[in-house]
Amino acid sequence: MAGASTPPRNPFTPLSVESESTVSRVAAEVRRAIFEGDLESGTPLREVALAESLGVSRPTVREALTVLVTEGLATREPHRGVMVATPRAESVRDVCRARWVLEGAGVQAWPAADAVRRARVRTTLDAYTAAVRSGEASYEELNERHLSFHVSLVELTGSPRLVQMAEALMDELRLALAQVERINRNAHDEAGSHEGLVELLEADRIDGPDGAHAFLRKHIDDAEVEIIEALGLE
């Protein structure tokens, strides 16, 4: 008689939904604290203190911090550990230069863009302005909706690679933008500026000194100066 067969190995045994969701919740809570200003740039993110405060294990905190480092919200340095990221003036300038290339290409592509991509620009703008005017959105939510609008401009090009580049740039910029909005309480002003840009696009006013392309250039140049001055990065 043949011996009893060995049950097939379950490849999913090592997976743990509870552990993964705990890491996500810890990352979400630290992320919220960063955007709301409870944790300022340069604040050390100590594993022991965070684990005690949040009631989780140090390995869970360590994994959550790795997520935040990947997102650009935190940095990990030898012998110093993990800390909330600090924007640098030259990085802000470089990101804004790259934004101008990508978003400027999107604005120039407006006349040839299909109706779906054009509609997404309006949809992301409406979501951002609605969040601003509700007065109830967190800085994290405002930041995400703000940057989604700028990515939608790049989507007008129809190039997935350019969109990926834009999303990477926004990851670098979102901490600095969130801090400026929180410091200056200027989300309402930003919403108005974005509405002006979309009105020019929808009127097919792209070129010339009063067109959308020039409007965007001034918007990005002003954002660069505002971020650097507000955060004292000079």
- Predicted local distance difference test score (pLDDT) of residue 17: 44
The mean pLDDT values, 10 residues at a time, for the chain of 234 residues are 60 52 90 83 90 92 93 88 90 93 98 97 96 86 90 98 93 79 67 92 97 96 89 78
Range of the domain at 185: 89-230
Q: Retrieve residue 7's tokens.
A: 């049950």
What is the pLDDT, as a whole number, of residue 174?
A: 80
The verdict on residue 79 lying in a domain is yes
Instruction: Return the CATH number at 218.
Output: 1.20.120.530
* Count of domains observed in the chain: 2
Contacting residues for 98 by C-beta, under 8 A, at least 6 apart: 165, 169
202 and 188 in one domain? yes
Q: Name the domain boundary from 84, 103, 125.
A: 84
Point out the domain boundary residue: 66, 84, 102: 84
Contact between residue 173 and residue 128 where contact means Cβ atoms under 8 Å apart: no
- CA angle at 146 for the pair 67 and 150, rounded to the nearest 5°: 95
Same domain, 143 and 28: no
In a domain, 34, yes or no: yes
